[in-house]
Structure 1
Amino acid sequence: MAASCSVVCCGEENDSDKAVIFRFSNGSVQNAEKLDFTMYKSADEINPRKKTRRIVVAESQRLSYVGQNFGTGALKCNSLCNYYVGVLNKQTMQMELHSAQLFNMQPVIPGESSVTADKDTTQTYKEKVDALIEAFGTNKQKKALNSRRLNKVDSNMLQQVVTKAANTVIDEKGLDALQQEIAETEAHTDCALHIPPSNADAETPEDVYPLDEILSPVDFKALEEAGSKMAALTTEELQKMRESGRVLCVVKHLENLPSDDEARKKMACCAYYLSLLLKLSQQRSISRKFGMEEGCPRIVQNKLFRTFTVETFKNGRVQNMVSASKSVKLASYCLVLLLHMGDMTVDLTLLHRDLALSEGRIIEIAKSLGLTMVKPRGKNLKAGLHDEHKQASLILPLVKYQPFMERRKRKKMH
């Protein structure tokens, strides 16, 4: 009667503890005991993208084989699947499962690989064509090649000139002033590059910037629970939100939720998503726990990171940050979302206070979306003064604004 065995899982293992499976590209190994295997790991253990890199070398009397888990020669299956190796302990009759990774071992021929590598790294396609023209080209082609080489500027000389000019500018203006100019230039990039997906041929204002491009049906379904909690906020809780500041747009729409159940649920989900956008704009470095306290679903959190943040490497780990250009994109998405929440009209003054951007910057973004500036009518009953809030509406056809060019007045001669 055959003996029975049990399976024991060893749990999660580090990359250094994983078993290694070799696959030779030029055939199968008849006697693996005659191969000497050596594994090398990356010396940069701080960078999370480099510390898992491994190179395996297998040496025999005739050939040497090399395999790696990164670069062009690495197998894609390691990132798509998890592999496990079972090791049977014959004494205890227990099968231990260990996680493994695959290596594609390729033969290295001495002399040939170094020559081909030098050619690939030092000679470009254009240089190879020039060499063919120089050897086998016609007289006309050779004359054109010589003329192009005479007119070519030495890259090292050009690099020295550029470095000298850059050092001169830094000495004249100072490093802090240059960094400030770069930040302002990045902040004032073309807003048209950061507007949501639009339909220029739409027949109704609601279809110009579709709401599905901002919140898909899957997102709405994921936000139902968080939206219902926000719709159930009491008057006292809304007053606390108003006093905290920078959520005035959200409080305004929560105080005027529609009576219809379907429209009320949709408006609450939009208000919750808007609160996440406003909170995202108020932070520079975003942690992976963003929105978890408010009950943000994982699918929505990943969407926010993917759309409105950039990845940077700092202090040995990858961080998500909201750059100046991403803040412009975030403001344009808030504008479009508020348009759908407010019957194609948005209060620019409240939004610029919530986003902590200047009112002129918000108006510039609204103009890039093609919105029409509206001057509100009537008076503020509580204060007895004219309402100075600036508003914008989406009216077809969209308005195309000309860029403002400042013209200096000439001084009169006396």
Structure 2
Amino acid sequence: MASSSSKKRKREAVDTSKGISFALAEQPVSQIGPVLVSFPAIEPSKSTSFSCYLKKPRHEDEVTPEFVDQGTFVAGEAEAIEFFSSDESQRASVGSRYLVGVHNKRTGTTTLRPAPLHLLTHRVKALKGIKSAPVSAQERTQARATLGETFGTKKAKANIRAQERNKVDVSAMEGVAEHLQDRIEQSTGALPTQEEAKETADNNRLIPTHNPDAEVPGDVYPLHNIIPEAEWKALSTSAFTAAASNKECIALLPYSRSTWINQHLSTLFAASVLNKKNLKILYYISAMLAFRNATFKKFERSAVEERLSGVPSIVIDGLFSRFTETSRGSTNLQTTTQTQTTILTYIFALCLRMDDYAAETTPIASDLSMPVTRINQLFRALGCSISTLNQKDLTLLGLPNSAGEKKRAVLKCPVQFPKPKGKKHKK
């Protein structure tokens, strides 16, 4: 036995003294080559013959691809079963490339040639002409449930019974479908249209009353929608015109610590002609800032009036009526998140008017000790876009080129308000 085994090993040994080399086959690309096949289910007998076919004939002017890239189809036939390439064959070769090698012991060369892979399926010839009986979705579901009840686990059986309990009997709804449709139409008849809902949402925003049909930015927020006409007439500029210096003018303001207001006030008095309208607007913004600070926390009306002693009483009454509320069952005034947001949007609407509807938001945020992102959000609520100005806009506003590097809140027409954000669904 040992002698026989030794001889067998010697016969299988390869002479490697000459070395082993690899080479690609040099046959024409049109020549049929080796094919790799896989039989996932039934394997045919060794006597079963197979043929390789081309799926789609080529035109004479087409370039013949390599055999492995040609659309081929492998088929064979036994006594009772047919074998043929399945549709999975193309997907099985994606990302892979197969090579068949033939080794020549005499020369020590292994010749390689690419080969396509075919996954073969089978079909019983006796059942070839029999069509399967049509099965409805309900029958298929019932059959699956029966199998689950017979062979399923306890958890699977519990799920099947739960689905049966939750199943809706459609036939039982046929008699009441028309009645339900009538009830739905009656219930939804009073719902607002999309345009009415949009108008209601715009009117309920925490911003001054606006004109959605305005064609120029100055008409979006009319001045007397922010400062009532009676309060506007009560504002006086005589004390400012009589002041001897810019420092005295700042001291006359209800709120003198705003860098933004003080810079605009200096610009007004530096002009050859004093713009009294803009002076009144700056004074009113200052009064609103002073009122906001005085009512930010718990307050007494008398203390607020004393703090704004230089402001006309009609203005103070208007600020109380628009930017404070009374709690239920009480007469005490208080500020809320809504009123605090509203007074800021009123202030910013006046800031836009002073800055030709292109307000730089960073100085305003610094005056209010608030994040710039929050200030930008409130300007967007007024219909502004936060962006830098181009050369044309800088020229129209009389601003230097360096001003184009800073982002501003720009109001344009037609005014467009931000759309409400949709709720994120929890995964």
* Interval of TM-score (by shorter of Structure 1 and Structure 2): 0.3 to 0.5
Report the TM-score, using the length of structure 2 for normalisation: 0.42
Report the TM-score, using the length of structure 1 for normalisation: 0.43
